[in-house]
Amino acid sequence: MNKMTRSLPVPALLLMLLILLIGYLTLSNDSDRDKGISSQIEENIALLAHEGREAKLSDLVPFDWDTAYILEDPFSNREAIDAIVGAACGLDRLEVDWKRRITFVEGGECVYDYSYDMRSFTFEPFGTIELTEDSRIRVDNGLGKAMVLRVEP
């Protein structure tokens, strides 16, 4: 064996493996958390449509926020998104034209970015809309399969 070759001691290898495992679990839990939040929002919208009633946006979203922005342009870059929402979110543009996003902010910090398929539902009025916790939403039948969520900012 070459004298220049050294192997790491077992405790150092175990520590490195533990750090990698914690990193993996942290990232996968964030992804699972995001999927759970998105699913819960979609379930709440479906329930709202089924019940045929109006609700506050804050009743549909399972976390704290004070301002939300429906961003109509899926291709807005990071700087444009940050300028619109007034916070450094670090969000990249969406890569497909059928996705849109709602970015939620609390106390000047991004707390959640919800991407949705506008073939399932879309918002009216169209455009970039600033919402508060008291903003109201009602579901109307749209054309084809898509629901129309009418928003009163």
Residues 6+ apart with CB under 8 A from 69: 84, 85, 102, 103, 105, 128, 129, 130, 131
pLDDT score of 152 more than 50: yes
* Domain region containing 14: 10-152
Residue type at 103 in one-letter notation: T
Tell me how far apart the alpha carbons of residues 74 and 127 are, in angstroms, rounded to a whole number.
Answer: 11
Give, as one character, the DSSP assignment of residue 87: S
Total of domains in the chain: 1
Q: Is residue 3 part of a domain?
A: no
Q: What is the pLDDT of residue 23?
A: 46
Beta bridge partners of 138: 54, 150
Give 2-34 pLDDT, tens digit per residue.
555 566 565 655 555 545 444 444 443 345 566
Give 31-59 pLDDT, tens digit per residue.
556 678 888 998 888 888 888 888 999 99
Tell me how far apart the alpha carbons of residues 38 and 116 are, in angstroms, rounded to a whole number.
Answer: 8
Q: Evaluate if pTM is beyond 0.85.
A: no
Q: Is residue 1 part of a domain?
A: no
- Mean pLDDT in residue range 57-71: 93
Give 70-127 pLDDT, tens digit per residue.
998 999 999 999 999 999 999 999 989 889 999 999 999 999 999 988 888 888 888 8
Would you say 134 and 58 are in contact if contact means Cβ atoms under 8 Å apart?
yes
Tell me how far apart the alpha carbons of residues 58 and 16 are, in angstroms, rounded to a whole number.
Answer: 42
Tell me how far apart the alpha carbons of residues 99 and 108 are, in angstroms, rounded to a whole number.
Answer: 25
Q: Would you call 117 helix, strand, or coil by DSSP?
A: strand
